[in-house]
Structures are given as C-alpha cells and as structure tokens.
Amino acid sequence: MRQYTAKDIEQFLNTYSEYISHVVVAHTYFRPFNKQQQQIDKMAEQAKKDCKHALNCFYKLLYPNATNKPVRKPELYKPLTFVTIENAKENLSREQTIHFNIAFGNLPKILNTDEIETLFKHAWTNMAKQSTDVKAYDVNEYPSENNTWNGYSLKEAQQQRSKAWRIEGIWDVSNCWIPHAAHNAD
C-alpha cells in the first residue's frame, strides 16, 4: 500500500486553490509541553471535536437571516474547508499550542477578512470555548516564508513524512468539506 506524502496532499489541495479566498489560524488552549504523546493525542482528539463544533457554528453565522442554509443544503451553502492540525507532538516549548490552519472558499462575497475573523473568532472562542488567539487572512496576503498557503499548512508533513498519512497526522480530513456544486455560487 502506498503511503501518501505532503506533496501528494499539496497537489490535491492545489486542485481547489482557485476557490480558496481566506485562511484562518486558530490556536487552542492545549499545550503539548512536557506531555507524553498519548496525552497529546487525547488533546488533539478533543481539539478536533472543538474545531468541528466551531466550524458548524461558523457556517451558520455566515447566513444570519437563514442560519439553517448550511445544514439543509450543504452542497450549496457550506463553504469549501480544508483543515490541518499542527503541533500535536511532544515539544520543549512552553508557549506552543496545538492549532489549526483552515482554508476557506465559497464564502459569501459580502464578507471581508475582518468580518470573517470576527465570525470565526466568535464561533471558536464563545461557542467552542477555545483560545482567543485567532487570525484570518486573505489567502493572497498570508505572511509565509513558503510560497503557498498549502505548502505552509503542510510543513509538519514535509518535515516528518509519516505525518502525511497517519490517522493522527496533520490533515484533519473529518473537518474538511468540498462542495462541488457550490464552486461558482455566492
């Protein structure tokens, strides 16, 4: 059986990159400092559940007059979403947190980056009870030493190959969504 690499994931994500307009970096309260990997895996699992809850809340906040749109017709109203999780590993830095890199596409065009950040921060902080350390960017303005968001969000898998294909790897597939019917919808 072939084991995927960060390059494989990046190539897959690149097929949707034209639809991605914004990215969010959302830190959790979970700090892997001085923890065993088994404890960190439990923190990461809870973080993924919190991320799922925050995303579902965020999707509903996008349509204040019809909050059920993303639930009733997700193929049209639930945004394109790619999620990676970082720092779910043993480390020696007390400041580092487990955090998510989230790429969004097909968001309502009426929203600007600041509004997207405000809505996601509300879902992340108030509804999922996570950290206030949330930042949204226009995908073309993300400050990265790598050339692309996809490359940046996969850096742990580039550094450690098994992070690309392991279940507890960096790609949080269960929180991703590809709405093929909505690619040209507003």
- Tens digits of per-residue pLDDT, 12-37? 888 888 899 999 999 999 999 999 98
pLDDT of residue 11: 81
Residue % of the chain over a pLDDT of 70: 81
Least confident of 24-28, 128-132, 152-156: 152-156
Domain-embedded: residue 1 = no
- Tens digits of per-residue pLDDT, 88-114? 888 778 889 999 999 999 999 999 999
Answer whether 91's CB lies under 8 Å from 32's CB.
yes
Least confident of 5-19, 43-57, 144-158: 144-158
Amino acid at 94: R
Q: Using 50, 70 and 90 to split pLDDT, how confident is the model at 186?
A: very low
pTM of the model: 0.87
In this structure, what is the dihedral angle of CA atoms 16, 144, 130, 117, given to the nearest 10 degrees? -70
- Tens digits of per-residue pLDDT, 163-181? 555 555 677 888 889 887 6
Parallel, antiparallel or unpaired: strands 20-27 and 80-86: unpaired
Residue 147 lies in domain:
6-182
- Rounded distance, CA 153 to CA 94, Å? 21
Within 10 Å of residue 128's Cβ, how many Cβ atoms?
22
If one compares 60 and 11, the residue with the highest pLDDT of the two is 60
User: Which segments within 11-168 are labelled E, that is strand?
Assistant: 20-27, 80-86, 99-105, 134-138
Count up the domains in the chain and report the number. Answer: 1
Please report where in the chains the tokens 């490359």 appear, as a residue. Answer: 151
Q: Using 50, 70 and 90 to split pLDDT, how confident is the model at 6?
A: confident
Average pLDDT over the chain, rounded to an integer: 85
If one compares 66 and 147, the residue with the highest pLDDT of the two is 66
DSSP β-bridge partners for residue 91:
33
If one compares 181 and 48, the residue with the highest pLDDT of the two is 48
* CB-based contacts of 162, cutoff 8 Å, min separation 6: 3, 169
Residue 123 tokens, joined: 């879902």
